[in-house]
Chain A
Amino acid sequence: DQQVKQNSPSLSVQEGRISILNCDYTNSMFDYFLWYKKYPAEGPTFLISISSIKDKNEDGRFTVFLNKSAKHLSLHIVPSQPGDSAVYFCAARPTGGTSYGKLTFGQGTILTVHP
């Protein structure tokens, strides 16, 4: 069963506009969420994260929103730039107890930003 889902395999956006990437999760034990960005032939690189005690976290052009009741999070990129073109993965982890940080990833969304 897919505990973290990214239902849009791809997204195409014009440079300067907003990109919105979505992610849904089913496991209520998850309480920390991360977004990773991946270029071809490279490993994922950390982008931004959010704890379940917050509903928004912002870092420059990147903002992550968390709706716990809907088990949904989204990543907003404003303004989008061609260099943002990559695969974006949503990941989740539980905290507390015996957890040590094992990440569960979604399938990824390919973002293409057109000049």
Chain B
Amino acid sequence: EPEVTQTPSHQVTQMGQEVILRCVPISNHLYFYWYRQILGQKVEFLVSFYNNEISEKSEIFDDQFSVERPDGSNFTLKIRSTKLEDSAMYFCASSGQLNYEQYFGPGTRLTVT
């Protein structure tokens, strides 16, 4: 069964450093998403991406964040200068159509020290 994969599973970085979180969505999916979950809090939407551009972004997704689909398989989230409050589990998701269910990856736990 196809699945969304994410690397790394755990990333530790120092405040102010850049990080890139990587995702490989399900191969025939067209819509891509990033969510995050701070420990003990709700899963929060960050951004959606379709046809090589951002469809929607949340207030959290400021200028420090960017997304890219550099090739036909990867989907990345970059945080330019990490802050302590960026520590969270980051989930990538993809869906075949806009109204279809989203399939989530296992997440990357980002720890900013």
Do chains A and B stick together as partners?
no
* Residues of chain B having any CB pair with chain A under 8 Å: none
